[in-house]
Amino acid sequence: MLETCLTYELSSSLEDASVDPELQRLLETAWSERHDAGVGFRYHLNIERERVADGRFGFLILLNRQRLTERRQPYAFLLDAPFDASRFNFTRIDPAEIQLELLCPFPTTVLINNSPVTVYHSLLVPDLQGSHSQLLTSEGIRVPFELLLRLPDRRYRIGYNSPGAQASVNHLHLHLLRIDTDLYVQRTKLLPVRGMPLLYRLQDGLPAKGYCFVVRDPTRDLDPVCTALQKLIETLLERKMAHNLFWTWNDLHEGVEIRAFVFPRSQQCANKVAISFNAAFLELCGFVSVGEVTDFERLTEDTIIQALRDAQGDVYGALGDLYPIEATDPDQ
């Protein structure tokens, strides 16, 4: 017997915010009940094989053929596409796909992802009935921080694909996933951006190009980080640059900071084509789910990195005038 959709109210004050085992229990129980009963899901999650690619960055490659063959087919749209009620959106889902309604600090609906990549893969839909296109709102920027601060298990991560950067549905949503392994972005050195506290740039030579906001003390850092992150996204939109985002703790056991990565793209792609390998937020961070055995067996660190660089283009050339790194760094 499935639990009916529950409502849950998070603390509205960061001073009162603390890890919340009941929130995590509700999310995981609702997901597991539906998954085990086959309610709402297009397939039973089955990672057939997995391996770590040889090389510096430890790309995790998983084979999940059903996600390629069974998932809802994406449709084409770019950054400026308005919400279109005539196309699929999350107001049309089966009510059984709703796990939880979060009431505070912002109304957010938690849905199962009916074509999961990992266990507990869910969708976060801020203001479900608001008919927002897949462009991040201020609430969409803030909700990932609020959730990660409250979920006791630091293996949870949150990701976002903008229009033109592998988003497949033009209705505002983010992805909540539990990933059980470290990713290279958690441990990589960050270079301070000149004149912008809490904003950093990834080093040259990494698989992806991008920027990172760091929250160490939520009561002090979260408001300015959310404001600066929104400004960065507005700049990307002004320059018609698609983007992927990823929120993670820097350590899965004793993380002391939340890292919010922004991966701009110098050119847009029309949509997430239904192929085995796409360059979206997970792949940019070192987690690669493929749907073909040949891709699983043949992908190497070099071929993955080349695909990511082709997808992003010359990001630093396009944005270096706005976000220059500090001139001197003793480790460089």
Query: What is the residue-level pLDDT of the chain in tens, covering all 332 positions?
Result: 455 568 888 766 565 567 899 999 999 999 999 999 999 999 999 999 999 999 999 999 999 999 888 777 778 899 999 999 999 999 999 999 999 999 877 899 999 999 999 999 999 999 999 999 999 999 999 999 999 999 999 999 999 999 999 999 999 999 999 999 999 999 899 999 999 999 999 999 999 999 999 999 999 999 999 999 999 999 999 999 999 999 999 988 877 899 999 999 998 986 554 456 789 999 999 999 999 999 999 999 999 999 999 999 999 999 988 999 986 544 44
Pairing of strands 108-112, 122-126: antiparallel
Domains and CATH numbers, the chain: 19-312 (3.30.428.70)
Query: How many CB atoms are closer than 10 A to CB 310?
Result: 10
Q: Are 27 and 120 in contact (CB under 8 A)?
A: yes
Q: Angle at which helices 218-238 and 138-150 pack, to 10 degrees?
A: 140
Q: Which residues contact 78 (CB under 8 A, 6 or more apart)?
A: 163, 164, 242, 268, 270
pTM of the model: 0.94
The model's pLDDT over 271-291, given as tens digits with 9 standing for 90+, comes to 554 456 789 999 999 999 999
Query: How many CB atoms are closer than 10 A to CB 194?
Result: 12
pLDDT the model gives residue 1: 46
The model's pLDDT over 19-59, given as tens digits with 9 standing for 90+, comes to 899 999 999 999 999 999 999 999 999 999 999 999 999 99
3-state secondary structure at position 139: helix
